A and B are shown apart, each in its own frame.
Chain A
Amino acid sequence: MSTTKKYPIGMHPALPPPSGSVGPVRWMRDNLFSSVSNTVLTVMGLYLIYIIVPPFVEWAFIDSVVLGADSRKECLKIMGDDRGACWSFVYKRWGQFVYGFYPVEERWRVNLAFLLVAATVAVVLVERLRANKALMIGALLLPVICFFLITGGLFGLVDIPTNKMGGILLTMIVGLTGIFVSLPISIMLALSRISKLPIFSILATIFIEFIRGVPLITLLFIASTLLSYFLPPGSNFDLLLRVLIMVTLFSAAYIAEVIRGGLAAIPVGQYEAADALGLSYWQSMRLIILPQALKISIPGIVGSFIGLFKDTTLVVIIGLLDPLGIGMAAISTTEWSGLGTELYVFIGMFFFIFCFSMSRYSLHLEKKLHTGH
């Protein structure tokens, strides 16, 4: 039975690829060792991983101490010859890292606020829940609820002065306020900047370029020291509030530019169509232009938020106690001095987890919006 079966031209079933052109060997040959220079680079890359990853894992996890030490000396005693990280100060001061100096018996309020924020994020992210009007209105009320929860003064809640707020709570307050309050401002700024009314456009441009032209730290410095010169004599308001105002203006200027980019990407036809329907300026913006522009700006806005979130660490320079400030206070005590590396790595991991997941989400959104077209 050695007859070869005849196939019409072009109808021959696909043959398996020649051996050596598939499988891990082939993949490695293609991707790792395709040329001499490529091989060298691969080996160098692997070597780099080898000299960085195992020692770090050993230092941070295997040889490290978390429990059972009340000072760096005790940490060293427990570790013996294997010098790993001493995380005990984080464990000991965990409460401060999360809540700052918020009174212990009132911390449930912060927990509740965190929970509400998490729930809201879930509502906004999950499409099925987003359709529910009642839930969305609840989400919009969230900032107000959280404000009263955390500062108190209503419903018999004890007033908590803002200088008691620190740690992750402070990061959240600054970051979230910055983004939510700045959104409407930035929309107004973006619309003003592209407005045909020259005065509005000039004013918005000056404001945006000024804020974007100077470092945030100088703005924070102004908030902490110079702002009082500009206010009526004798008036005075809270340092945290002044910082929040500056941070809001700062992020508004950046987000305004993102939204302006979104507005510029809307085809002229859309504007003309709105005009043709006889819509007023505000109607056309509200119903036609802004929904589209904001939708394409979302990845950029999330990007700005990540930037803002990271920038909240700068408040430590003007004396507010964010997680970094709390940690610096901890390592300046006799017991824990000399643990700078541990502190920076710990805070770094905290920010990485938050920012990385946000940037992944933004990427996911970008992909989704992309396929929608």
Chain B
Amino acid sequence: MSGTQVKEKKSVTLGSIWRDKHSRGVILQIIAVIGILLFLGNIVSNTVENLDRLGVKVGFDFLSEPSNYDINQTLIEYSSSDSHFRAGLVGLLNTLLVAVCGIVVATILGFTAGVLRLSNNFVLSRLMQVYVEITRNVPVLLQILLWHGILIHSMPVPKKAEALIEGVILTNRGIYLPQPIPQEGFGWVWIALLVGIVFAVFFKRYANRIQTETGKLIPAIWIGFVAVIGLPLVTYLLMGSPIEVSYPELKGFNYKGGFVIKPEFMALWFALSIYTGAFIAEIVRAGIQSVSHGQTEAAHALGIKPNFTMRLVVIPQALRVIIPPLISQYLNLTKNSSLAIAIGYMDLVATIGGISLNQTGRALESMGIVLGVYLFISIAISAAMNVYNKRVSLVSR
């Protein structure tokens, strides 16, 4: 840009340096750096002074001390004699669990609502519009609280609950389901599943190559599907069905055994999925509408069947528009899961940033960890996003 600059031969004064675009930029940047360093230095020195005055130590040694508190939903082994670090890990896994479950349901809901919103069916498209407008315009915290209230007030207490079908019981302390417990030999089923998946992937590639070379269509999807489902199933039967089912039974105050989904998890999961689903629906709608009608017409002109038109022409182009905002919605959902604190779901913020912080008084360190973890998640996803964006933009132009 600065190719047209004329070299000045006058004596260099302060004024002339300032008037020069390039050197002014350098000066401004130096000032900015000094300002930021001063600012940060000040914060650090204040913090040190404040901590000193209160006589508080800083360090992460508390992470290895026993946490001494219990958590009601743990994906990994955990007891009150485990460390604060492990408690934080339990919280992180709970955050990830609700985020992943929420993302799956929100995506399904969002794509369904987005497509139906464009359907010719007047009732359905209006219904979807109402869903989107209502959930999008009400704070998600309220929706979480509302779902939690509904779940704990409208479902029966365990003593009054009756089984819906054998082993399925709805109570206000959660939904109890029969839990399959793998016995010896079940490992082979996992191996069979893995083999099935690998086979399906390679077969699909092979089928694609055949199709590009000869134009012959092989129903690779179906064959792959059979491999992924059938292989483990056959192995399972050959091993003599190595699974025992644990049924929930009312013992004392609560149901024991089986698999339980807590109302706190459900409330958070439903609320986040429904809320984010509304945003995704709008993204999907905009994405599909962004594909020019000419594309569909061209596909028709080429004699591509309507079914394939959607799959091979419209969707791939729409996805390019849909995916970036979709990922940012996924990130929002993950961040919103921190509202778990309002209903007592033990996520990252509630464990390490809540109870551990409070019991040990290590506020700076605990919040630092929480912020760090969230930052790591979002930066990792953003980075993946950028890679994807580069790839699609190369393909398109």
Q: Is A200 an interface residue (CB 8 A)?
A: yes
Within 8 A of A (CB), among B136-180: 136-143, 145-146, 149-150, 153
- The stretch of B72-80, B221-229, B244-252, B334-342 that contacts the partner chain: B334-342
Contact of B312 with A by CB under 8 A: no
- Supposing A214-B374, A214-B375, A226-B363 touch, asked if A233 and B53 sit within 8 A by C-beta, the answer is yes
Given A214-B335, A215-B336: A344 touches B353 (CB 8 Å cut-off): no
Chain B binder among A145-153, A160-168, A308-316: A308-316
B139–A311 touching, CB < 8 Å: yes
Mark out the residues of chain B between 198 and 243 whose CB falls within 8 Å of any chain A CB in the assembled complex.
none
- A221-B353, A348-B142, A352-B134 as given contacts; A200 in contact with B29, CB under 8 Å: yes
Residues of chain B contacted by A45 (CB below 8 angstroms):
121, 123-124, 127
Complex: A324 Cα to B339 Cα, angstroms:
14
What residues of chain A lie closer than 8 Å to B153, measured between beta carbons?
340-341
**A334 CB-CB contact with B under 8 Å:** no
Tell me the minimal C-beta distance from B122 to chain A in angstroms. Answer: 5
The answer to whether B364 touches A314, judged by C-beta atoms less than 8 angstroms apart, is no
1/0 per residue A123-140: CB within 8 Å of B? 000000000000000000
From known contacts A197-B25, A218-B338, A344-B142, infer whether A213 and B122 are also in contact, taking CB-CB under 8 Å: no
B195 at the interface (CB under 8 A from A): no
Closest 10 pairs (CB-CB, A-B): A355-B137, A213-B378, A199-B29, A215-B338, A310-B139, A215-B335, A344-B146, A340-B149, A45-B123, A313-B139
Whether A229 pairs with B46 at a CB distance below 8 angstroms is: yes
Are B43 and A230 within 8 A (Cβ)?
A: yes
Which of A34-42, A97-105, A114-122 lies at the interface? A34-42
Task: Say whether B181 faces chain A, with CB atoms less than 8 Å apart.
Answer: no
Q: Is B382 an interface residue (CB 8 A)?
A: yes
> In this assembly, does A209 line the interface, its C-beta being within 8 Å of a C-beta of chain B?
yes
Residue ID in chain B nearest A45 by CB atoms? B123
25 A-B contacts, Cβ less than 8 Å apart? A41-B121, A42-B123, A42-B124, A45-B121, A49-B123, A198-B29, A199-B29, A200-B29, A213-B377, A214-B375, A217-B338, A218-B367, A221-B353, A225-B363, A229-B51, A230-B46, A230-B47, A233-B50, A275-B1, A306-B137, A316-B141, A341-B149, A341-B153, A351-B142, A359-B136
Q: Which residues of chain B are within 8 angstroms of A230 by Cβ–Cβ distance?
A: 43, 46-47
Query: Contact at B374–A213, with CB atoms within 8 Å?
Result: yes
- Cα–Cα, bound, A356→B375 (Å): 31
On A, residues with C-beta under 8 Å from B are 30-32, 34, 38, 41-42, 45-46, 48-49, 196-200, 203, 209-210, 212-218, 221-222, 225-226, 228-233, 275, 281, 306, 310-311, 313-314, 316-317, 324, 340-341, 344-345, 347-348, 351-352, 355-356, 359
Residue of A nearest to B33 (CB): A199
Tell me, in angstroms, the Cα distance from A46 to B382 when the chains sit together.
41
Contact with A203, one of B36, B121, B141, B338 (Cβ below 8 angstroms): B36
A316 to B341, CA, bound (A): 12
CB closest chain-A residue, reference B149: A340
Partner among B33, B53, B143, B382 whose Cβ is within 8 Å of the Cβ of A209: B382
Would you call B32 and A203 a contact (CB within 8 A)?
yes
Q: Is the CB of A351 within 8 A of B374?
A: no
A350 shortest CB reach to chain B, Å = 9
Q: Is the C-beta of B349 less than 8 angstroms from some C-beta in chain A?
A: yes
- Which B residues lie at the A interface, using CB under 8 A? 1, 21, 25, 28-29, 32-33, 36, 43, 46-47, 49-51, 53, 120-124, 127, 133-134, 136-143, 145-146, 149-150, 153, 335-336, 338-339, 341-342, 349, 353, 363-364, 367, 370-371, 374-375, 377-379, 382
**Cβ of B124 and Cβ of A351 under 8 Å apart?**
no
Partner of A199, one of B32, B141, B142: B32
Which residues of chain A have C-beta atoms less than 8 A from B339's C-beta?
215, 217, 314, 317
Contact, CB under 8 Å: B123 / A324: no
Task: Tell me whether A226 and B341 are in contact in the complex, defined as CB-CB below 8 angstroms, given that A215-B336, A355-B137 are known contacts.
Answer: no
What is the predominant secondary structure among interface residues of chain B facing chain A?
A: helix
Contact B370 A310, beta carbon cutoff 8 Å? no
- Number of interchain pairs (Cβ within 8 Å): 150
B146 touches A341 (CB 8 A): yes
Instruction: Give complex CA distance A210, B134 in Å.
Output: 31
For A218, the chain B residues whose CB sits under 8 A away are 338, 349, 353, 367, 370-371, 374
CA distance A55 to B105 in the complex (A): 27
Q: Which of B43, B138, B140 contacts A352 (CB 8 A)?
A: B138
| Complexed CA–CA distance, A241 and B341 (Å) | 24
How long is the Cα–Cα vector from A38 to B119 in the complex, in angstroms? Answer: 10
Q: Which residue on B lies nearest to A48, using beta carbons?
A: B127
Give Cα A117 to B315, complex, Å: 45
Of the candidates B46, B123, B143, the one whose C-beta lies within 8 Å of that of A232 is B46
Q: Is the CB of B363 within 8 A of A324?
A: no
In Å, the complex CA distance between A306 and B136 comes to 10
Q: How far is the CA of A232 from the CA of B43 in the complex (A)?
A: 8
**Roughly how many angstroms separate A221 CA and B358 CA in the complex, as a whole number?**
13
Min CB gap B164→A, angstroms? 19
Chain A residues with CB under 8 Å of B43's CB are 230
Knowing A198-B29, A203-B32, A347-B142, the reply to whether A32 touches B122 (Cβ < 8 A) is yes
Interface contacts beyond A32-B122, A345-B146: sample of 13 additional A-B pairs, CB < 8 Å, sorted by A: A49-B127, A197-B28, A210-B375, A226-B363, A233-B46, A233-B49, A233-B50, A314-B141, A344-B142, A347-B142, A348-B139, A348-B142, A351-B138
Residues on A with C-beta less than 8 A from B143 are 348
A197 x B29 contact (CB < 8 A)? yes
Report A150 CB to chain B, min CB distance, Å: 23
Contact B145 A340 (CB under 8 A): yes
Chain A nearest Cβ from B123, distance in angstroms: 4
From B121, B139, B378, A351 is in contact (CB under 8 Å) with B139
Q: A311: nearest residue on chain B (CB-CB)?
A: B139
A226 to B146, CA, bound (A): 31
* A42/B121 in contact, CB under 8 A: yes
Give the shortest distance, in Å, between A30 (CB) and chain B (any CB): 7
* Given A225-B363, A231-B46; A344-B149 close (CB under 8 Å): yes
User: How many angstroms between the C-alpha atoms of A222 and B371 in the bound complex?
Assistant: 10
- Chain A: CB-nearest residue to B26: A197
Expressed in whole angstroms, the minimum distance between the Cβ of B54 and any Cβ of chain A is 9
